[in-house]
Amino acid sequence: MNAAEAAVLRDNIAPVDVGRVAGAVLVDQPMEEGEEKGKHIIYLLGPQISTEKENVKAIERVYRKEIKITERNVEHKQYLLGLGLPEILANYISFAVDEDYRGGGALYSEPFYSMAVKNIKKYSGYKPISFE
């Protein structure tokens, strides 16, 4: 992990939460009153926002091993391209370390964030799992 990635915010949604919601929707597509059957988007986000650095520290506590965070002097996109990633993927990933995304941008703003977290319980029937 480099220093730019360390500042990126993550919601750390658990794969099991995504699976439960997906399974529930596949079996019986839930709908709001007055809503038509068909395609609709269900937004899901994990219940705990933290930086990559905070996530690394939590992992270090569990595994009792240090994970080194380094500073890179090259532009993030160029680094990803150097790893052999296709340009479209490098563009997408480097967007994640953009200043707007570091601050959460629209993804973690209210009321969107709370609604996306509540959707896990609403559609799966289970409380969302936190990272720690």
Q: What is the pLDDT, as a whole number, of residue 34?
A: 73
Cα 85 → chain centroid: 20
Question: Any idea where the domains of the chain sit in the sequence?
Answer: 3-70+105-124
- Quote the pTM value: 0.68
Map tokens 């995504």 to a residue: 18
Burial class (CB in 10 A: 0-12, 13-18, 19+), 108: middle
Could you read off the pLDDT of 34-59 as tens digits, one per residue?
A: 777 667 788 999 999 888 888 888 98
Give pairs for 52-58: CB < 8 Å, separation 24+: 52/1, 52/5, 52/6, 52/7, 52/8, 52/10, 53/1, 53/6, 53/7, 55/10, 55/12, 55/131, 56/1, 56/6, 58/131, 58/132
Could you read off the pLDDT of 56-101 as tens digits, one per residue?
A: 889 899 999 998 776 554 577 888 889 999 998 887 777 666 654 5
Q: What's the CA gap between 87 and 129, in Å, rounded?
A: 34
Q: What is the pLDDT, as a whole number, of residue 29?
A: 74
Residue 103: how many other CB atoms lie within 10 Å: 12
Structure tokens at 87: 């340009």
